[in-house]
Structure formats: structure tokens, C-alpha cells
Amino acid sequence: MAGLPVPGSQLSSEAAASGEAAASGEAAASGEAAMTAPTAASAAVAAAVPPSVVELLDSLWTAGHAAYVVGGSLRDVLLGREAADWDLATDARPERLVELLHGAAYENRFGTVALRREGGVHEITTFRSEHEYADFRRPHRFEFGDTIEIDLARRDFTVNAMAWGHPPPPEPGRPVPERAFVDPYDGLGDLRARRLRAVGEPVARFEEDALRMVRAVRLAATLEFEVEPLTLAAIRDRADLARHLSGERIAAELEKLLAAPRPSTGLQLMADTGLLAVISPDLARQRGIAQSKISGEDLWDHTLRTVDAAPADRPVVRLAALLHDLGKPATSSDGRFIGHETVGADLARALLHRLRFPRTTQERVVLLVRQHMFDYKSTWSDAAVRRFIMRVGSHGIDELFALRAADNVGSGIPADSNGLEELRRRVHDQLEAEVVLDRADLAVNGDDLIAELGLTPGPTLGRILDSLLDRVIADPALNDRPTLLMLAQAMLTEE
């Protein structure tokens, strides 16, 4: 493997007992655990590992195999975060895992076995080294290995290249070792420094899998870490390799980035390293475009502020906040952006389709981008409020209000500016009154008009139903069957 890093030594249980490493830990001001030694890290992990994972480790070890917890779960435990996934690594080959573990499924060529246990699905991967990453996405060839150090050498960042567990059982008569923390690349040191550093040679890691560059900026935002200078320089140098990534993989990282406390951290890194220009040239064009919002800040600054202000627990709103002004660079003229919401909606649809976001997400985001420029006035009639609801859809109103509030903050004004709270209240009152907002709410339907007026299915029937809906939105009192049939008859005569 190009740039294969040289691992350090594993701290054994005997070394820990002899005091070769200090077993102390300290809590950071934020409440996260910053472990100061492998023994302290081992104790913290041991206290956090779920019983189902311990059972798997014991089963593999009893059967004569090395077994370790690996990956982001260790990192998250040591940062005082909840671990999302508990993945394992072992020297047992996939066929052996299927034989040993009831319910294990092996359906890939990378040596990973999936196993459902209490607490979720665990992935158990055979130690391996990887070679020949010709497409910058996946290894063309890999070899199974026998040591955890070989497996950790293929990982992306030092904070993800740690393991906890033990090697295969010793020869008969020798003492049984305790589980130990394996940290050949000083991931603990980088955790303490809140630093993201590639394992070994950064350029080699990114040429193996270009997604690691996107993951770096995502982790910088979600973990609130700094990217180590050499790693950051390698991202700048190899950013163009992101063109080889599938839309699905980029979308998965983008969604995680947008869930960060301050997504702007990762998004700014994307822009500064050139990744943004590869993933979305339209977003990258926002840099340097002046706006009359906050003094000294450009359109990209406004977008970053808006994304940060959008609620973290509403991923569709955060995504819409990122894309809400996507059409401004294309419509910029003398400091104005006429029609940018319409152009932006089309560009957002194209981007989300290329990134393979679910169709429902695409539709919701496109709607929000297209409608985010509504201009409420207190003089709006109740009918105007109802037409606004109909245009947006009752299901999208709350999301649109959340986007507008974030857009206001991103513009340097209070979230509820421009009558937003008043409009929110008026919309609520209309919805509480169960007003008619679509054809399904009318007191007559197409079948009624066919039966009573002799109409046939087709454009005329559709136009009459739409006209009836418009009349009822203007005056809800008209929504009764006899009145609507009479109005429909008059419309038919006019046809």
C-alpha cells in the first residue's frame, strides 16, 4: 500500500501493571472525557461497551481468535459522546464467523459480516490490508491479515485508528491477558488536542478513497476539531478527486455535516479546500458576491449564517438553508437577484437529484427554495393567507417559517422580523378553522359534477373544480353542495 504507516507498539496488560503508562484521566471543561493514557482509555471503554458486544468479543476469543472493538465508537466514548455503532475486527475469516456466530450474514467481498443482536446490527470485519485504489473510491485488491496493527494501518484518521480488545488466546499455561487499548498512531493524543490527522501519509490516504476528504471536513464540524495542517494541505492538493465519488456517498456525509452544532465550520473548510467547487459549483460561486445584508460579508457568508441558524433537528430545513440562495449567482444584476428563488429551485432539484437524495426530500427542499421569498404584509386578507397556505401546502408551512427565521438571522435581523410571527399566528388560526385548501375539501367532487351536470372527465372538469376551489378559498361560506353545483352550472354556461 502506498504510504503505509509504520505502527507503534501496543500497550500490554503487563506493561500497564508495571506502571510504564500513567492511568489517569481528566474531564474537559465541556464535560467530554479527555483520556491521558491507554489504561485510562481502556477503563472508559470497558465501562461503556454494551453487553451484546462483550458477548461477541468473548465468543470470538473463546473460539481462539483475536477480537477488538474498532472505529468511531471508541473515539466517541472517549469524547463523552454517545457511540452510534459498535463495530468489531478479528483475525477470523468470514466463513469462520458465519460458522461461529448464529445469524451472521456475509454478502460482500470485503470481509465484513453483519450480525443482529440486542442493541442493533454489528459489523465484524476480518483484519485486512488494501491495495490498488485505481478509482479513488475502493480497493481493487485486499488481503486478509492476522494482526490488529495491519488493520488499523488502512484506517482514515488517527482518532478512528484505535482498538480495544485482545489478541488470540495464549499458549496453554500462559496467563490470560486483559483487554487492552491499542493506539499505534497516537489517536489519544489527537483526541486531547481535538485534532484530525490522517493515518500515515495524508495524500496516500485520500488517493485510496477520496471520500475521506469530505469526511475530514464533516468530522471537523461534528466533533469540533481542527484539521492538522499537513492533512488540510493534502485535501487542497487532491480536492479534485472528489469528482470520482458517487452522489450517495457525498449526500451521506453532507447530511451528517448539516447535523453538526455549527455546520459552517465544515462548509467553510469545503470552500477553502476546493471541495465545494467540485461538489456544487453553484454554491462555490456565492463567494465574493456582495449583498446588502451584513457589512463586510458576501453571499456565501450569508448562506453559512443561515445554515447555522436553521434548527439542527430539522434536516430538511438545514438542507434548504444551504441551497435557498443557490440561484443568486446566476441572477445577479446591479446588486439585485430577480427571480433567484425560481432559478434556485431548479438548480437545487438538479443538485439533489445528482446526489441521489430521496425524492421526498428533493420535493420538500425545492418547495422551500421556491417559496422562501414570500413578502407578507399586515394588510393581507384572510383569503390571501389561505392562498398562501394552499401555495405552500399545510405540511410545508412550519418548515418554510423555520427557513425564513434562519434567513432573517443570516441577514443580521431578528428571527421574527417582517411580520413572521403575525403570519404564523394567522396561518394557525386558518388551519384551526379547517378551511378549504384543496379539491378534496370541497363539498362536491368530479363524480358529482359528472352525475349532476353531465360533464365528462377532462380539462373542462378540472378547470371548473379549480375555479370552485378558488371561490371557496375567497369565501368559505360557499362550500356547500347546492351552492357549488349552481356555481359550476354557471361556469359551464360561460364555457
Query: Which of 116-125, 133-142, 230-239, 247-256 is predicted least confidently?
Result: 133-142
Please provide residue 37's backbone torsions phi and psi, each rounded to the nearest 5 degrees: -155, 155
Q: Angle at CA 291, nearest 5°, toward 289 and 292?
A: 160
State the average pLDDT over residues 293-302: 95
pLDDT of residue 142: 63
Q: How confident is the model at residue 24 (pLDDT cuts 50, 70, 90)?
A: very low
State the average pLDDT over residues 114-125: 80
Q: How confident is the model at residue 189 (pLDDT cuts 50, 70, 90)?
A: very high
> Which residue would you say has higher pLDDT here, 168 or 120?
168
CB contact at 8 A, 76 and 118? no
67-70 sheet: strands from edge to edge: 112-117, 120-126, 87-90, 67-70, 163-166, 180-182
Query: Which of 107-121, 205-219, 260-274, 399-413 is predicted least confidently?
Result: 107-121
The overall average pLDDT reported for the chain is: 88
Nearest to 299 by CA among 273, 279, 324: 324
**Nearest-angstrom CA–CA distance, 264 and 206:** 23
For residue 211, pLDDT beyond 90: yes
For residue 328, pLDDT beyond 60: yes
Q: Angle at CA 382, nearest 5°, toward 380 and 384?
A: 55
pLDDT of residue 394: 86
> Which residue would you say has higher pLDDT here, 447 or 136?
447
State the average pLDDT over residues 48-67: 91
Strands (E) in 215-351, as ranges, are: 226-227
Q: Is 355 helix (H, G, I), strand (E, B) or coil?
A: coil
State the average pLDDT over residues 40-68: 92
Work out the percent of the chain whose per-residue pLDDT is above 70. Answer: 87
**Nearest-angstrom CA–CA distance, 313 and 292:** 30
Cell numbers that stand for 415 in this block: 428571527
**Nearest-angstrom CA–CA distance, 447 and 427:** 31
- CA dihedral sign, ordered 269, 335, 353, 133: negative
pLDDT of residue 13: 34
> Which residue would you say has higher pLDDT here, 172 or 295?
295
**Fold exhibited by the domain 13-194:** Beta Polymerase; domain 2 (3.30.460)
Query: Per DSSP, what are the bridge partners of residue 67?
Result: 90, 166
For residue 60, pLDDT beyond 70: yes
For residue 332, pLDDT beyond 70: yes
Cell numbers that stand for 190 in this block: 489527537
pLDDT of residue 37: 81
pTM of the model: 0.85
pLDDT of residue 140: 54
For residue 164, pLDDT beyond 50: yes
User: Using one digit for the tens of pLDDT, what is the confidence trace for 339-395?
Assistant: 999 999 999 999 999 999 999 999 999 999 999 999 999 999 999 999 999 999 988
For residue 320, pLDDT beyond 80: yes
Residue with cell 447555522: 308
> Which residue would you say has higher pLDDT here, 388 or 177?
388
Which amino acid does the sequence have at 270? M
Cell numbers that stand for 11 in this block: 500497550
**Nearest-angstrom CA–CA distance, 136 and 134:** 6
pLDDT of residue 366: 98
**Nearest-angstrom CA–CA distance, 478 and 484:** 7
Nearest to 396 by CA among 418, 381, 374, 422: 374
